[in-house]
Amino acid sequence: MPPWLIVVLVAAGLVALGAILYWQLIIAEGVYLGQRVVTWLYDLAARRYDDIKQYDDDMEAVFLGRPLADMLRPVPGALVLDIATGTGRLPLALFEQPAFRGRVIGVDASRSMLEIAAQKLRGNEHRLMLLWRDASSLPFADGAFDAVTVLEMLEFTPDPATQLAEAVRVLRPGGILVTTRRRGWNAALMPGKTHSPDEFRALLESLGLTRVELLPWQVDYDLVWAVKPGHVPSGARHMLDVLHCPACRSAQWEEHPAELCCGVCHAAYPVKDGIIDIRGKQ
């Protein structure tokens, strides 16, 4: 083989490898390589995440904080679950709203993302609980929350439909789901993880949700609102009342400075820097 052909083949191989790595690690954020890779990438990027995203406080208020706070206005002490809370975008947007008098539980698989959230939300400990856990199974009872939010996360999970079903499970009848649909040119590069508007609406309706509304939002995402039909009144509760021990499912807790202990099976979950490590045996 002539040397020039070897050079061309090696160069083509390197370009192809670079393209595959860019696709798998940057666009798909590791989702086809498994949850551990997704979490590892977020742990690596956590300190730069907010600089990359450049969220605008006014836009966050207009699209997220204010509409959700308004919808929750009739529910004093509303309890909100933010699945994949990341650096605390949703709790920050809600706590900025004077109309919001409720509490937020944020769950994320990336410890480093949660550390940033905890720093940004310092002073809100009375109305915020941060849980370190893979959200594919949620340690909460059915119908525990008045609203559940799942922003910019579904396409990074093994099965978006299963993750949505788990979100709907913990939403009370009459509660609000806010989520996102990946859009834009790179959505096509995530087969099996993204949906057309019609497919996404049908998916939410197949999970029993009604009043599904898809709104164009960011370059890469539609913002999606839906309601779980029925009406069960909100039981304004303490955040620990809805948290179930992953080991024995009990909701009896003993709070210690550095750990949360199950009052029934005595499993201990470390608490550090305002983050509860509730991973248990997942």
Which residues here bind ligand SAM, judged by CB under 6 A?
Answer: 35, 38-39, 42, 84-86, 89, 107-110, 113, 134-136, 151-153, 156-157
Query: What is the nearest approach in angstroms of ligand SAM to the Cβ of residue 233?
Result: 28
Nearer to ligand SAM, 224 or 234 (CB): 224
Please report how close the Cβ of residue 31 comes to ligand SAM at its closest, in angstroms: 8
Query: What one-character DSSP code corresponds to residue 71?
Result: H
Using the minimum distance from each CB to ligand SAM, give the nearer residue, 37 or 99.
Answer: 37
In three-state secondary structure terms, 129 is strand
Could you give the angle at which helices 197-206 and 160-169 cross, rounded to 10 degrees?
Answer: 40
47 phi and psi, to 5 degrees? -70, -25
Which residue's beta carbon is nearest to the bound ligand SAM? 86
Instruction: Give which of 217, 220, 205 is closest to 67, Cα–Cα.
Output: 217
Q: Are 45 and 115 in contact (CB under 8 A)?
A: no
Do residues 79 and 101 touch, judged by C-beta distance below 8 A? Answer: no
Cβ-based nearer residue to ligand SAM, 39 or 194: 39
Q: Which is nearer to ligand SAM, 180 or 234 (CB)?
A: 180
Comparison of 91 and 175: residue with beta carbon closer to ligand SAM: 91
- Shortest distance (Å) from residue 49 CB to ligand SAM: 7
Neighbour tally for 43: CB within 10 Å: 15
Q: Which is nearer to ligand SAM, 234 or 269 (CB)?
A: 269
Residue 173: CB minimum distance to ligand SAM, A? 25
What residue type is 185 in one-letter code?
W
Least CB distance from residue 266 to ligand SAM, whole Å?
A: 26
Helical axes 35-53 vs 111-120, angle rounded to 10°: 30
* Tokens representing residue 54 in the block: 């450049």
Tell me how far, at minimum, the Cβ of 92 lies from ligand SAM, in Å: 10
Q: What is the phi/psi pair of residue 18, to 5°? A: -60, -40
